[in-house]
Amino acid sequence: MIRLFILCSLLLALPMSAADILPESDQAVSARGAALDLAGAFTANDGYKVRDGYHLARLKKGESQLFQVNLYAGNSYWFCAAGAPATGTLSVTLFDETGAPVAIQPFADPARAAAGFTAANSGLYYVKTTLLDDSSSEGSTICLLYAYK
Length reported for the chain: 149
- Identified binder of other proteins from the candidate list 86, 108, 132, 136, rule CB under 8 A: 108
Binding flag, residue 65, other proteins (CB under 8 A):
yes
For residues 96 and 27, what is the distance between their CA atoms, to the nearest angstrom?
30
Q: Identify the CA nearest to 39 among candidates 147, 111, 148.
A: 147
Binding flag, residue 86, other proteins (CB under 8 A):
no
Kindly tell me which of 27 and 104 has the beta carbon lying closer to other proteins: 104
Helix (H, G, I), strand (E, B) or coil at 24: coil
Binding flag, residue 33, other proteins (CB under 8 A):
no
Could you tell me which residues are beta bridge partners of residue 83? 142
Kindly tell me which of 49 and 60 has the beta carbon lying closer to other proteins: 49
Q: Identify the CA nearest to 77 among candidates 65, 94, 91, 61.
A: 94
Binding flag, residue 51, other proteins (CB under 8 A):
yes
Binding flag, residue 142, other proteins (CB under 8 A):
no
From the list 4-12, 22-30, 63-71, 132-140, the region that binds other proteins by CB under 8 A is 63-71
